Structure 1
Amino acid sequence: MRTTPLFTPPPDDIANLIRTWPLALLVSTGDAGYAATPLPLLLEHDAQGNAFLLGHFARSNPQLDALARSPRAIAIFLGPHGYLSPSWLRDRSQAPTWNFATVQMQVEVATDPSPAAALDAVRRLTDQVERGRTEAWSPDELGERLHRLLPAIIAFRARVLHTAATFKLGQNERADVLADFLAALDGDPLQAPLARMMRAANARRLASRVDGDRPHRAIDSSGNRA
């Protein structure tokens, strides 16, 4: 994935995106071509700081056979995103754009067919997505059904080999253009997550507004203003 320093987030922001938007597309290739499965994944680190993604497949998923032969894959996380229209701007000479936050991790997948690994994966993933709820749900509430369902899944732990992330969130926009985009997004409840991420990525600029009167400049191929 193409990345630039302007749109590259710090590690904490990458971890927060995966925690908040854990559904990833796990893509691999094999003799039959490409395979892709959407899966919620949990990011974890070992004592040495190595990163891993924890998840589970349905045992009936044919991608498991491909991964058994070739365990390399890429996990693609997509956070908030949306089209930004020049129709929202006071300066309508600006170009439209699409803001987004994405993380791509090259991984090596290792499956564990044991029931204990499946239970651990289910518990840990559920704890993550239920955290903070006033009446958080636990897998134990399934009762005896839990142990009848576990044989249908297989857990995996994928070692992260390389991470690339692009958070394109208006860092290259003039302050007045950014403010107009945010005002428009604030009018759409569905875009609240994108607006929050844009504000976080531009917190210092929004606080100072020192560049609000700078003349228009074109965007160069690296994402910076020329």
Structure 2
Amino acid sequence: MGHARDSRYAARSQDDLLRLLATQPFAWLVSAGGEDAAFTPLPLRAECDAQGRLVALRGHVARRNPHVARLRRDGRAQALVMGPHAYVSPSWLDDRTQAPSWNYAAAVFELDVVVSEEEADIRAELDALVTQMEAGRPRAWSLQEMGERYARLATGVTALRGDVRAVRATFKLGQDEARHDFAQLLLGLQAGGEDELVAWMRDFAGDAA
């Protein structure tokens, strides 16, 4: 990510990364290089230690997925998370000499992944993911409702945990825009239904929004 080197677009704190993971949990797990390179889209959850520091990403993948064998051979992987994003049109501005752009939030997590087929690890991961995704829903569903069917389906799943070695994140959310232009861009994005991106932009702008 080219903008990752620009401090204007850095995460303000770990909270921005945790919010990104919570609101956009579906990511790419990438094991690049070699003849068994593997790329799997899957949901990932943040794991924090007792001090609240992000230490790992957790998830699960089908046991028959060739990516599992790659991770057993080489646990080094990256998780690519793409948050809200949208095209930014100069047509929304009074100054139509400006160039178009793209606002977005994204992160790359460098991981050391360990996979497990232990029943307890699989159950804990699936239960935690369901609990996270069902939170706040009317008539929220729980894993226990699967009954006997759970045991059959769980045999096809592998749990995984990736220790976070490093993070590169970009939150390009209009920090370089003049206040007047920023307000016009917000209106344009709102008209296009980009409410989530607008919310991130307003949050990063703070009082300037």
Of all paired residues, the percent bearing the same amino acid is: 40
- In structure 2, the residue matched to 1:6 is 8
1:114-125 matches, cutoff 5 A: 114-125=118-129
3-state SS, counterpart of residue 188 of structure 2? helix
Listed one character per residue, the Cα deviations across residues 90-126 of structure 1 (whole Å, up to 9, x for unaligned) are 1111110000000110000001111111111100011
* C-alpha RMSD of the superposition: 1.3
Residue 42 of structure 1 is aligned with which of 36, 42, 45? Answer: 45
Higher CA-based Rg: 1
Q: Could you tell me how far 1:200 is from its partner in structure 2?
A: 0.7
CA distance in 2, matches of 1:103, 1:132: 26
1:170-189 matches, cutoff 5 A: 170-189=174-193
Q: Could you tell me how far 1:169 is from its partner in structure 2?
A: 0.3
Residue 159 of structure 1 is aligned with which of 156, 163, 186? Answer: 163
CA distance in 2, matches of 1:91, 1:137: 50
Pair 1:128-2:153 in alignment: no
Pair 1:25-2:28 in alignment: yes
Is the CA contact (8 Å cut-off) linking 1:108 and 1:158 kept in structure 2? yes
Is the CA contact (8 Å cut-off) linking 1:30 and 1:66 kept in structure 2? no
Pair 1:90-2:82 in alignment: no
Q: Could you tell me how far 1:67 is from its partner in structure 2?
A: 1.2
Pair 1:65-2:69 in alignment: yes
| TM-score, normalised relative to structure 1 | 0.87
Q: Give the paired residue count.
A: 205
Which segments of 5 or more consecutive residues in structure 2 lack a partner in the other structure? none
3-state SS, counterpart of residue 202 of structure 1? helix
| Runs of 4+, deviation exceeding 4 Å | none
CA distance in 2, matches of 1:172, 1:31: 40
Residue 147 of structure 1 is aligned with which of 141, 148, 151? Answer: 151
